[in-house]
Structures are given as C-alpha cells and as structure tokens.
C-alpha cells in the first residue's frame, strides 16, 4: 500500500512570495489533514477535510492560507503572501476507517 505522498519536499522562497504544496493521500482514505510543524513544536492542525468538504479550518490563517481538496482525493495548500513566521514543515496526513492518521514525509518551507 503506497503511503501519503507530498511535494515538493523542500521549498525556499522570499517573504511576500506565494507557494503551493500538494498532497496525495492513501487510496481510499476519506479524511485528509494539513498540519504545520514549527521547529521544536508539535504539529498544529491547519485544516481537516472529509472527502471534499471542510470539517475544521479554525486554525487556518485565512487571510493568507487556502486549501482545497477537489474530487475528494488530492489536496493543495497555498500560502499567499508568505511571512517569515510561516517557515515550518507542512505535513499532510490521511485517515481511513480506523483511528490512525498516516503522515506524509512533509514539505520543509523556508521563508527568507
């Protein structure tokens, strides 16, 4: 069974630029999550999708972050414009019928 795929793995941009991350969950997993993990901290949930609907986006900074999950499969997370404090690892996770969330390898974003 293939795991959660994410791309790119690394991204360096300057502040005020825009960036997009892509996630392909495990086949058949209805629930998809985007987390932000700042160095030295635990992952923080940004948004949760159930199929192509948003379950929770209460911690998503909507003035600059957006996310979509068209057709209930792949998902993209966008930041526009980026700030220095957005430097972090962005983790995508998916969950099927059981309780366990499976994490992708993450995208390490550096904002200069």
Partner 1 sequence: QKEVEQNSGPLSVPEGAIASLNCTYSDRGSQSFFWYRQYSGKSPELIMFIYSNGDKEDGRFTAQLNKASQYVSLLIRDSQPSDSATYLCAVTFMGYKLSFGAGTTVTVRA
Interface with partner 1 (CB under 8 A):
33, 40-45, 48, 55-56, 91, 99-101, 103-106
Q: Least Å distance between CB 84 and partner 1?
A: 21
Q: Least Å distance between CB 30 and partner 1?
A: 13
Instruction: Quote the DSSP letter at residue 60.
Output: S
Sheet bearing 5-7, strands edge to edge: 5-7, 19-24, 75-79, 65-68
Residue 41 or 63 with smaller CB distance to partner 1: 41
Of 75, 89, 101, 98, the C-alpha closest to 43 is 89
Residue 22 or 81 with smaller CB distance to partner 1: 22
């Amino acid at each position: 069974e293939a795991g959660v795929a994410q791309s790119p793995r690394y991204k360096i941009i300057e502040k005020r630029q825009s960036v997009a991350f892509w996630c392909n969950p495990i086949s058949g997993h209805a629930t998809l999550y985007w987390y932000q993990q700042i160095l030295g901290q635990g992952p923080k949930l940004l948004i949760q999708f159930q199929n192509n609907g948003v379950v929770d986006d209460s911690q998503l900074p909507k003035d600059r972050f957006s996310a979509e999950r068209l057709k209930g499969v792949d998902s993209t997370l966008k930041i526009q414009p980026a700030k220095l404090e957005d430097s972090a690892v962005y983790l995508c996770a998916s969950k099927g019928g059981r309780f366990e969330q499976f994490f992708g390898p993450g995208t390490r974003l550096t904002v200069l």
